[in-house]
Each structure stands twice: as C-alpha cells, then as structure tokens.
Structure 1
Amino acid sequence: MTEYLKDALRKAASFCAYQERTQQEVRDRLNDWDIYGDDAEEIIAELISQNYLNEGRFARSFAGGKFRVKHWGKRKIRQHLQQRGITGYNLDQAMNEIAPDDYRAALADLLAKKRRTIRDDNPLVVKQKLVRFALSKGYESDLIWQVLGAEDE
C-alpha cells in the first residue's frame, strides 16, 4: 500500500470512528478524495477488517436512534436504510431491534401528543389528521387503526 493510500486509510478510519458509516458513504468520501476502484475497495476492506466499518452495527444504531429520538415508524426507517444501501440480513436485524410493545407504545404516545395539538371538534377530521400524521412518520396503517380503535373504546 502506497503512502498516499495509507494516509487515505487513516483519514477514512477517523471518518468512520466519528460516527457509524455505510460502505457507500465511505466510498463517496473516497471519491471526493480522488480514490477510486480497486484502491477504494482495498481501503474499505481494511476498514472492515479493523472493525471501523460494520454495516450491521450501522443499521442497528440507525434504526434504534431514529425510532427512539425521532419516533419514526418501521416503514420510514426501512426506506432510509435501503437508500443507504443496507439490505437483506442487516436490514432485518435492524428492524428486529425495535420491540413490538415499545413500537406500539411509541405510536400511542405520538398520537396522543398530536391529538392535543389538533384544534377541531369533528372526530372524523381529528382521526383523519392523526392517521395522516402517523403515516408520514412511517407507521403501518393497520397498526395506526388498531391504536386509534383501542383509544375509542
């Protein structure tokens, strides 16, 4: 490995140490540094072997963070992970990190908070706005209707 590539590896390692990254993010950064093809793949392979780069760890961290902090639903999390090139086993593992009971409770809390901000007396309009809001957050429509139905009882 040339001195230039060793320097790029050090920079890429610090880039990955700062926060979890995907292989595609590292590849894009290497392209910015004018490192392409086999050289870029060699650096990525080295980062993986040194455990700086781990897409499974990234996916679990991303899914957990977006769920806990931003209260995103599984559909939105899955879509964003796929946009970042995470598929298959890593994607499934990330989705399994979210416990079903916590997921349902988070949706119920989100809907309760949103309900307090809606200024409308018509219950159908309120329900429509709640459903649209929860869908935009990435929750599944059948779960939204279940939670809203449970609140009405």
Structure 2
Amino acid sequence: MKKKSFTVEEAKIKLMRYCAYQERCHQEVNKKLDELHIIPLAKEHIIVELIQQDFLNEERFAKIFTISKFNQKNWGKKRIINELKRREISAINIKTSLNQIDESEYLAKLSRLVEKKWNATAESNLANKKKKVMNYFLYRGWETHLVYEQIQNQGDIK
C-alpha cells in the first residue's frame, strides 16, 4: 500500500487547518507531521512558520487546556499538571496556566462537587462511602488534603 506524500507547502496548509480547528500543542503537531511522513528538516520549517503565524502557541494551549479541563471535566490541579507534562508543556507555561484558576473558586467548586458526589453515592458503610468519594476525586487530580477535609465535613454533617 503506497503512502501519500505531501509537499512542504501542502503539509503546512494541512497543519494550519489542523491548528485553526482547535488549540494544539507542539507534541500533537509533531505527531501529525509524522503521520504525514514529513522529513525532519521540513518539520522544523513548518513548525517555525506555524509559530510565527501564531497557529501554534504553547502558552495559549496550556491556558485554554487548563481552564477547559477545570470547568468542563472538573479536574483538579494535579491531573491538569500531569496531563500538561504528558504533552511536554514547559514548567513555566504550566505554572502560568494554573495561576488562572482562582483559589477561592477552586475550593468552592471542590466543595460543591464533593457534596454532590457524597449525596449520589449509595453506600451504607460510612468508611466505604468516604473511600469511594475520596478515590473518585483523587483520580480526577484533586489534592488529597483538600478532598479529605471536604469529606470529613460531609461525614460530620450526615
């Protein structure tokens, strides 16, 4: 089976569309270029042009990723950090993106989510219920001490 080959210009246009559709990180663009079987020298040229024309911006990607995962998926900071690291985002961009999350909003959201999950968890044994709720939030990247504190509050109320 013959692989379709692309000129540098065709690949660049394809990647511009790819980046315009949604924010992309450098890793995703590199992977796409690999799928298009672009040689390393041409890859560099295309990536430089995407950056110069503002199709590719790691800081902007990190900020949008952070806010969307926090607001839509209810992820905690630890999960967001791990996912950004997995995408090879720089530490400074990770820190900058996390600074967008207001601390009081972060804690208020966790409180609402824990209360909702607590009420939705059908478990008669209090210790098992606490464990289930705790595991749910730890998987989503919320800090252990914050979750523990919220669960203790729920356990005291109920």
Q: Structure 2 length normalisation: TM-score?
A: 0.89
Q: Which of residues 120, 132, 135 is equivalent to 2:135? A: 132
Q: Which of residues 76, 82, 85 is equivalent to 1:73? A: 76
- Where structure 1 has 5 or more consecutive residues not aligned to the other structure, the ranges are none
- Where structure 2 has 5 or more consecutive residues not aligned to the other structure, the ranges are 1-5
- Cα distance in 2 for partners of 1:150, 1:95 equals 26
Q: Identity of aligned pairs, percent?
A: 36
Deviations 1:60-97 (A, max 9, x none): 10110010001001111111111111121111111111
- Cα distance in 2 for partners of 1:32, 1:75 equals 31
Instruction: Tell me the equivalent position of 1:62.
Output: 65
Which amino acid is the alignment partner of residue 139 of structure 1?
W
Tell me the SS of whatever aligns to 1:35: coil
Matches within 5 A, 1:1-153: 4-151=7-154, 152=156
- Cα distance in 1 for partners of 2:26, 2:16 equals 12
- Cα distance in 2 for partners of 1:10, 1:118 equals 50
Greater shift in the superposed pair: 64-73 or 138-147? 138-147
- Cα distance in 2 for partners of 1:125, 1:119 equals 10
Runs ≥4 in structure 1, deviation > 4 angstroms?
Answer: none
Q: Structure 1 length normalisation: TM-score?
A: 0.92
Q: How far 1:34 sits from its partner (Å)?
A: 1.1
Aligned residues: 151
- Cα distance in 2 for partners of 1:113, 1:150 equals 13
- Cα distance in 2 for partners of 1:111, 1:60 equals 25
- Cα distance in 2 for partners of 1:26, 1:84 equals 11
- Cα distance in 2 for partners of 1:24, 1:125 equals 41
